[in-house]
Amino acid sequence: MAHSEYKRHKGRIITPSFLILLLLSLTGLALIALRFYKGLGAVSNMSDGYPWGIWIAYDVATGTAIACGGYAMAIYIYICNNMHYHHMIRSAVLTSMFGYCLAGFSVMVDLGRPWNAYNFFVPSQWQINSAMFEVALCVMAYSTVLIIEMLPSMLFILERDHWSSSNRILNLLQKVLSRQRKDSISKYARMIRPKLDKVLIFFVVLGITLPTMHQSSLGSLMLLSSSKLHPLWYTGFLPLLFLINCVFIGFSIMVLESIISCYAFKRPYETKELSVISGVIPWLTLIWFGVILGDLAWRDQLDLIFNSGKNSFFFLLQNGLVATGSYMLFFERNRKSLRRLFLSAMALVAGGALYRFNVYLIGFDPGAGWSYFPSLAEFMVTVGLISIEILGYQLMVKTFPILPRLHHDGHPDDEIRSVI
Amino acid sequence: MVNPSRRQFLQILGLGGASLLAGKSATASEIHQINNDTVGMLYDAVKCVGCKACMSACKRVNMEHGGLSYDKAKFDKEGMWDAQTDLNGNTRTIIKLYKESQQRWSYVKHSCMHCQKPSCVSACPVSAMTRDKVTGIVDYDKSVCIGCRFCQVACAFNIPRFQWDRANPQIVKCDLCKHTHLTKTGTTACADVCPTGAILFAKRMDLLTEAKSRIASSPDKYQKHVYGEKEAGGLNHLYLAAVPFEKIGLPVLSDKADANFSETIQHTIYKGFIAPVALYGTLCFIALRNKKKFYKQKEASGKGCVSCEQKGDK
């Protein structure tokens, strides 16, 4: 990787938003402590009919799709040969890393007997028929890969003689560690980074293979619930639909993330890049709709679209959002407008995420007498985890070179200047 | 630049799609057969008098091994009664009353169906749910269970229950007294205490014969169907009743086991782990080639970013 493409965002770490996020994070962590002390029922509204609530439906099933920015960008850059968008990968991978690590953390909160989780590493206990087994191993492996992909940016700072003068965290570290220890860290960083840079591409590709596997398996999980999941969503194509869904969510979230972080950090917008990247989305959603509608037609159940009451509403809402977003992106004129890009990406992420909610919660009916709506505490745990994610993102981009460097030196791809 | 990349992209998606399509059309590698030599139970709702002796026997016998305790009713400060209202983290079996009118009503007993092809076993990632090949008993081992509750999501009958109110919870479900009463007496506690012969424990084959002869001897009393004979790929807990089965909480299911369908898809994609490895190899090849091409182009054009060229990517 060419490290000069990225730069550390210079800015204060402690800001009002930092403090609000910190408060929310701590609330979430306190509720998690309560959950471990008193049991899952004390905090959540989950029941034997709805054994999975928003911690799985949002944090895992939807959260990992929203964290697919790194996956989508890696496909786009390395596989579809758009290497000149290379400078956007680090921020994408960083959000993916937080998204996946938090999904993993969330699972540990949700598991009833997390102390037995080591059984995933005991081959005699492996149950290879289980899509859950596949998801668990792949998510663990992918989180590791994402951390490895982030390492070079950290090593790049750590290998310097002076870490930083303007960043509080690095300053603090520098003060706490003895001179000798700091130097040895720098020495190791200098040693590891060139080697890591050389093999990094193999991790990047692993970072494409693993999500392909587990994102489709997230759909396979629900194949066992034919009598509970509404036929609008229950189909043998669930794995394929989940896969396409995570890719278009991944591209959309890249658009959103780029716009939001440029706005928040007062950087020039990457409109040109985004207009090209978002051009892929309509084609993906076209295939997605083709599979959904073709499958319903083949099963002769198209009438369900309008005759299923609450389920029809959410099915139409999900498809309406995705269709609106991708229809807008079909036109280059819209793709070049920052506002329309933002709106269409919002619609796509909302619709795509709603699809996953529909499959995991809304279209899931365990039978008469059961109902589920998340409790406030359950909701606050999720909010707390999202806050940790955003906090971590802020800290990381202010500490390590992750955001694209703004070129003023005649870089060939430098159309950014016109925006400035 | 845009068009070729888009085409390539679609190719990749098509690849994934094709493998999934293959999964849908392929037949199950191991076609599931009903094994009638396994053991199970027959519950006859017509003979049941609702005495609940089965419930109390079940809890007494399995209390310690199953991690059960008594449920207190709100009014009952001293804890004189065990007052569960449904299967739950303390209850493996329950008798319920379905009442349509003063003349038409039926008791029903709920407990694990011990499916021939159980979804919970297929779902469990760490083999905490297992089905004994010889006896057909679906058993749960809390020492490996991670508490993910996928078994609950997967079970069409909502049988596995979770202890929501405990910091050290487990799944609770009937194991046909495999570790308790069955080893001592050769039968289950509920069948042992049933005063009317409404609960029988035997080989599936004999249970089916008995069920069919009961229907034949008094056809006006029974629905002409043994619930569980074929449902969901065959159950080892069979039911007879006077009222339609869906009215007493037994869902209408097809003869196919969900687990067969999902495992066929999983197996097709992951057979011998060839597809993932092939995918990885292909992607590595493409990515390396693209990377090389990109830096070559940059060098050739000579106006690349200075630092990019210096560090390059070797």
Model pLDDT, residue B262: 86
- Residue keyed to tokens 């042992």: B192
Q: Are B151 and B120 in contact, with CB atoms under 8 Å apart? A: yes
Residue A333, judged by CB atoms within 10 A of its CB (0-12, 13-18, 19+), counts as exposed
Cβ contacts (< 8 Å) between B167 and chain A: which residues? 36-39
Give the closest-approach CA distance of A240 to chain B in angstroms.
6
pLDDT score for A308: 87
For B112-221, list the strands marked E by DSSP: 129-131, 138-140, 161-162, 171-172, 199-203
Best interface-test mutation with B: which of A108, A129, A242 has the largest number of B CBs within 10 A?
A: A129
- Residues from chain A that touch B6, judged by Cβ atoms under 8 A, are 80, 279-280, 283
The CA distance from A234 to the nearest CA of chain B, in Å, is 11
Report CB contact under 8 Å: B145, A113. yes
pLDDT-based confidence at residue A3 (cuts at 50, 70, 90): low
Q: Are the CB atoms for B72 and B79 separated by under 8 Å?
A: yes
B245 and B277 assigned to the same domain: no
Q: How far is B197 from chain A (nearest CA, A)?
A: 30
Residues A93, A95, A96, A97, CA torsion sign? positive
What's the confidence (pLDDT) of residue A379?
Answer: 93
Nearest CA to A360 among B40, B153, B144, B39? B153
Q: Which residues of B touch A36 (CB under 8 A)?
A: 167
Dist CA B109 CA B35 (whole Å): 24
Whether the pLDDT of residue A412 is over 90: the answer is no
Please, what is the Cα angle at A67 between A62 and A73, to 5 degrees? 135
Average pLDDT of chain A, as a whole number: 86
* pLDDT above 50: residue A218: yes
Nearest to A416 by CA among B298, B305, B307: B305
CA distance A281 to A274: 11
> Which residues of chain B fall short of a pLDDT of 50?
1-4, 6-30, 304-314
Least confident of A6-20, A64-78, A367-381, B110-124: A6-20
Query: Mean pLDDT, to the nearest integer, of A226-250?
Result: 93
Q: Which of B12, B127, B258 sits opposite A224 (nearest CB)?
A: B258
A51–B153: do the CB atoms touch at under 8 Å?
yes
Inside any domain, residue B34 = no
Are the Cβ atoms of A279 and B154 closer than 8 angstroms?
no
Mean pLDDT lowest for which of A3-12, A245-254, B37-46, B160-169? A3-12
CB atoms within 10 A of CB B197: 13
User: Are A130 and B293 inside 8 Å of each other by CB?
Assistant: no
A376: pLDDT strictly greater than 70: yes
B243 plus B289 within the same structural domain = no
> Which residues of chain B does A237 touch, with a Cβ-Cβ cutoff of 8 Å?
20, 24
Together in a domain, B159 and B95 = yes
ipTM value, please give it: 0.87
Q: What are phi and psi of A190, to 5 degrees?
A: -65, -35
> Which tens digits make up the pLDDT trace of B175-220?
999 999 898 999 999 999 999 999 999 999 999 999 999 999 999 9
Mutation target to probe the B interface, by most B beta carbons within 10 A, among A127, A135, A283 is A127
B126 lies in the same domain as B233:
yes
Give A361's contacts in chain B (Cβ within 8 Å). none
Which fold does the domain A3-112+127-419 belong to in CATH?
Answer: Formate dehydrogenase/DMSO reductase fold (1.20.1630)
- Which residue in B17, B146, B168 is closest to A111 by CB distance? B146
Residue B187: inside a domain, yes or no? yes
Phi, psi of B105 (to 5 degrees): -155, 170
Are B152 and B143 in contact by the 8 Å Cβ rule? The answer is: no
What gap in Å lies between CA B196 and CA B115, rounded to an integer? Answer: 25
Q: Where are the beta strands (DSSP E) in B127-175?
A: 129-131, 138-140, 161-162, 171-172
Confidence category of residue A185, pLDDT binned at 50, 70, 90: confident
Q: Is B66 exposed, middle or buried (0-12, 13-18, 19+ CB in 10 A)?
A: buried
Q: Closest approach of chain A CAs to the CA of B167, in angstroms?
A: 4
Buried b (16+ CB within 10 A) or exposed e, A190-225: eeebeebbeebbebbbbbbbbbbbbbbbbbbbbbbb
Dihedral sign for Cα A111, A366, B264, B174, please. Answer: positive
A5, closest residue in chain B (CA to CA): B308
A47 contacts A370 by C-beta, under 8 angstroms: yes
Distance from CA of A130 to the nearest CA of B (A): 5
Q: What is the DSSP string of B53-78?
A: HHHHHHHHHHTTTTT--PPPPTT-TT
**Interchain contact, A201 vs B288, CB within 8 Å:** yes
**Percent of chain A at pLDDT above 70?**
95
- Is A136 in Cβ contact with B5 (below 8 Å)? no
**Residue B261: inside a domain:** no
Return the pLDDT at A369. Answer: 87
The answer to which of A213-217, A296-300, A401-405, B136-140 has the lowest mean pLDDT is: A401-405
User: A78 and B290: CB-CB below 8 Å?
Assistant: yes
In a domain, B33, yes or no: no
Say yes or no for a CB contact (<8 Å) between A284 and B13: yes
Q: Number of A:B CB contacts under 8 A?
A: 253
Give the pLDDT band of residue A244 (cuts 50, 70, 90): very high
How far is Cα of residue A345 from the mean position of the Cα atoms in its chain? 15
Q: Which domain holds residue B187?
A: 39-256
Interface test with B, best of A134, A227, A272 (most B CBs within 10 A): A227
B16 and B81 together in one domain: no
Name the pTM for this structure. Answer: 0.86
Chain A residue with the nearest C-alpha to that of B308: A2
Domain end residue (candidates: B256, B279, B300): B256
Check CB contact under 8 Å for B147 and A412: no
Cβ proximity of B240 and B225 under 8 Å? no
User: Do B134 and B275 fall into the same domain?
Assistant: no
Q: How far apart are CA A298 and CA A232, in angstroms?
A: 12
Kindly state whether residues B175 and B276 are assigned to the same domain: no
Same domain, B131 and B67: yes
Is A120 in Cβ contact with B284 (below 8 Å)?
Answer: no
Domain stops at, among B256, B276, B302 = B256
Looking at the structure, tell me whether residues B174 and B195 fall in a common domain. Answer: yes
In whole angstroms, what is the distance from residue A380 CA to residue A77 CA? Answer: 37
Using an 8 Å CB-CB cutoff, list chain B residues near A112: 145-149, 162-163, 169-170
Question: Tell me: the pLDDT tens digits for A86-106?
Answer: 778 888 888 898 888 888 889
- CB-closest option in A38, A221, A240 to B20: A240
Residue B10 is predicted with a pLDDT of: 45
- In this structure, are residues A242 and A215 in contact, taking their beta carbons and an 8 Å threshold? yes
- Pick the residue of B127, B248, B252 with the most A CBs within 10 A to test the interface with A by mutation: B127
Phi and psi at residue B163, in whole multiples of 5°?
-90, 85
Q: Are strands B39-44 and B199-203 parallel, antiparallel or unpaired?
A: antiparallel
Tokens of residue A395, six digits:
């800290």
pLDDT over 70 (residue A227): yes
Which residue of chain B comes nearest to A112, CA vs CA?
B147
Q: How much is the average pLDDT of A306-325? A: 93
Interface test with A, best of B150, B253, B311 (most A CBs within 10 A): B150
Contact A224 B153 (CB under 8 A): yes
| Shortest alpha-carbon distance between residue A269 and chain B (Å) | 20
User: Has residue B199 been placed in a domain?
Assistant: yes
Distance (Å, rounded) from C-alpha B235 to C-alpha A4?
64
- Which of B170, B262, B307 is nearest residue A2 as measured by Cβ atoms? B307
Looking at residue B13, its pLDDT comes to 47
Give how many domains chain B has, as a whole number: 2
Contact A78 B153 (CB under 8 A): no
Q: Are residues B65 and B210 in the same domain?
A: yes
A136 chain-B contacts, CB cut-off 8 A = 125
- The reported pLDDT for the residue numbered B85 is 85
Do residue B106 and residue B14 come from a single domain?
no
Mean predicted confidence (pLDDT) in A333-356: 92
Is B198 in the same domain as B226? Answer: yes
Residues in chain A with CB shorter than 8 Å from the CB of B146 are 111-114, 116-117, 119-120
